[in-house]
């Protein structure tokens, strides 16, 4: 009986850990632009990587509207108070350096960039 309960629990946990969430706009800790491209700062438990995200781009009245979506949850439990900064080059985003753009993702207005990031 206990063995069956343990096996059921392990199957549930394994299924939950591998479940893909429906991609949704990721709330950003901050964002900025540099000569390297557009940088977004996202929450991380230590396992967040750039390939965990995809972006969408729409052109509305001549302005590019970007949104970044998390594809996989970060289930790690490390403490990263500054989250992780992900860089998307202008080329990756299909933007020129002088294109007008905005980011649609929610940003609570808190900019917590780590001072060690080169600009």
In a domain, 14, yes or no: no
- Note the pLDDT of residue 45: 96
Domain containing residue 83: 21-103
In a domain, 56, yes or no: yes
**Is the pLDDT at 113 greater than 90, yes or no?**
no
In a domain, 5, yes or no: no
Q: Which of 2-11, 53-62, 102-111 is predicted most confidently?
A: 53-62
- Note the pLDDT of residue 24: 83
Span 39-74, pLDDT tens digits: 999 999 999 999 999 999 999 998 999 999 999 999
In a domain, 99, yes or no: yes
In a domain, 113, yes or no: no
**Is the pLDDT at 20 greater than 80, yes or no?**
no
pTM: 0.74
- CB 65, CB 104: distance < 8 Å: yes
Rounded-to-integer distance, Cα 49 and Cα 47, Å: 6
């Amino acid at each position: 009986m206990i063995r069956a309960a343990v096996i059921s629990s392990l199957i549930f946990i394994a299924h939950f850990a591998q479940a893909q969430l429906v991609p949704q706009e990721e709330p950003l800790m901050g964002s900025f632009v540099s000569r390297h491209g557009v940088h977004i700062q996202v929450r991380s438990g230590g396992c967040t990587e750039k390939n965990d995200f995809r972006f969408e781009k729409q052109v509305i009245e001549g302005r590019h509207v970007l949104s970044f979506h998390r594809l996989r949850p970060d289930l790690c439990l490390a403490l990263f108070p500054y989250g992780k900064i992900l860089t998307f080059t202008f080329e990756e985003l299909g933007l020129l350096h002088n294109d007008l753009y905005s980011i649609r993702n929610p940003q609570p207005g808190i900019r917590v960039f780590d001072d060690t990031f080169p600009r």
